[in-house]
Amino acid sequence: MLWALTALLAFQLAGEALVAWLQLPAPGPVVGMALLFIALIIRGGAPKALAETSRGLLSHLSLMFVPAGVGVTLHLTVLADSGAVIGVALFVSTLAAIAVTGLAMTWAMRLSKRKGGQE
């Protein structure tokens, strides 16, 4: 558990360092995820402790967005001014993106499966 958590933090640290060094446009943790992904490919799988700790952390991923979410309090005046416009734009565009991505993926996979079936 402690070892696994240390490994996750070390990969994040390596990600942050790489971002600062190469001035990458991505956040450090995302680069850290890419580095761990490469390490898993080289090693051919995750050690049991790392897999278990990661599953535990990820099952509470929603909780970790709560502190930033409370930051809404910093923008209550903007929300009061143009809250309706922002609300409509966010709601419609988010649902449109979900619908388009989900349907496109379903159709594209069906298409490639049909092609694959002829082999």
Partner 1 sequence: MSDFTEIWVYLSSSPLLHLTLTLIAYQIGDWAYKRSGGLAVLNPVLLAVAMLVAVLLITDTDYGTFFEGAKFVHFLLGPATVALAIPLYNQLEQVKRSLPALLSSLALGSATGALAAIGIAWALGAGPTVVASIAPKSVTVAIAMGVSAEIGGLPSLTAMLVLLTGITGAMFGPALLHLLCVRDSRAKGLALGAASHGIGTARAVQIDETAGAFSGIAMGLNGLLTAAMLPLIWRWLF
Q: Which is nearer to partner 1, 17 or 100 (CB)?
A: 100
Report if residue 1 touches partner 1, rule: CB under 8 A. Answer: no
Residue with tokens 């929603």: 62
Report if residue 17 touches partner 1, rule: CB under 8 A. Answer: no
Report if residue 20 touches partner 1, rule: CB under 8 A. Answer: no
Phi-psi domain of 80 (left: phi exceeds 0; alpha: psi -120 through 50; beta: other): alpha
Which member of 1, 17, 20, 111 binds partner 1 (CB under 8 A)? 111
DSSP 32-85: HHHHHHHHHHHHTS--HHHHHHHHHHHTTGGGGGHHHHGGGGGGHHHHHHHHHH
- List binders of partner 1 among 30-89 (CB under 8 A): 30, 32-34, 36-37, 40-41, 45-46, 50-51, 53-55, 57-75, 78, 82, 84-86, 88-89
